[in-house]
Amino acid sequence: MIKKVSVIGAGTMGNGIAHVFAQNEYDVTLIDISQEALDKAVATITKNLDRLITKEKISEETKLATLDRIATMTTIPEGVKDADLVVEAATENLDLKLKIFKQIDEAAPAKAILASNTSSISITQIASVTSRPEHVIGMHFMNPVPIMKLVEIIRGYSTSDKVTQTIMETSKSLSKVPVEVNDYPGFIANRILIPMINEAIYSLHEGVAGVSEIDTVMKLGMAHPMGPLQLADFIGLDVVLAICNVLHDGFGNPKYAPCPLLVNMVMAGKKGRKSGEGFYDYSTGSKDWIVAKTFC
């Protein structure tokens, strides 16, 4: 039975995952090498809980109890030593994830389930550096974690039925909707989403239409809540590029090759909302100044 959860990485996804587990009465240890990142994460969780109070979705008592269930640490061995479940939510970088999973495997209890929030990297490959591949699984939350209902549950080649069922039930206990998928590049969510975003960037690159026109077509014509270029900015253009590369390398199919415009923008430091500029400019809170045409 899962009671204690360790979350590695205090960024946007990590603090959201910690928030959701703690609000649903799990004891959470949030781990990051940066104390500043941990402090910022706790501040973000507090702010999001205050927003829920304002909307009358939770009480002040629930907020305080949620925060009381969250501890923070700057070292993995100490942070995972009592965990029933470890959820890794570090940067989407294979070498980093493999390094982290080696550390988790050495320090976490033998019974602990090791999960990755990766959006595209092979769970089987991640599991291969551990001594317990049957206990390794993908638990891909959607951003923003406290709001989005879907959790993509990815079975690696060796992931056991018992572990899969446990994580499916755990996800339901968070009021999420888990969907089980197999371990292929991009899984389901990003295998479908990222090529659509990449095609939208190609359409811009080739001068078929402008940024606002592309996004308007998809929002009003296809009932998408935001257009693909705005969504790319929200995800992070560096993350979109990384997933494109995973798909391209994994399948060896040229249809997954990232658009040169996307590559150039990332190299130029235009990573979307996180950097203040992508297909839209966010430096002054505006979403109206289109900057991508500069790179065409």
Residue 165 in this model has a pLDDT that exceeds 80: yes
Q: How many CA atoms lie within 13 A of 194 on its CB side?
A: 29
For 29-60, b where at least 16 C-beta lie within 10 A, e where not — what string?
Answer: bbbbeeeebbeebbebbeebbeebeeeeebee
Q: Could you report the per-residue pLDDT of 215-248, keeping only the tens digit for each?
A: 999 999 999 999 999 999 999 999 999 999 999 9
Q: Could you report the per-residue pLDDT of 122-156, keeping only the tens digit for each?
A: 999 999 999 999 999 999 999 999 999 999 999 99
Catalytic residue among 117, 119, 120, 203: 119
**277: annotated active-site residue:** no
Polymer length of the chain: 296
**140: annotated active-site residue:** yes
Q: Which domains does the chain have, with CATH numbers?
A: 4-182 (3.40.50.720), 190-295 (1.10.1040.10)
For residue 285, the model assigns a pLDDT of: 57
**275: annotated active-site residue:** no
- Reported for 288-295, long-range contacts at CB under 8 A and 24+ positions apart, including other chains, are 290/210, 290/211, 290/212, 292/204, 292/211, 292/229, 292/261, 292/265, 293/204, 293/210, 293/211, 295/261, 295/264, 295/265, 295/268, 295/270
Catalytic residue among 152, 203, 275, 277: 152
Taking the C-alpha atoms of residue 58 and residue 87, their distance in angstroms, rounded to an integer, is 25
Q: Could you report the per-residue pLDDT of 21-62, keeping only the tens digit for each?
A: 999 999 999 999 999 999 999 999 999 999 999 999 999 999
**224: annotated active-site residue:** no
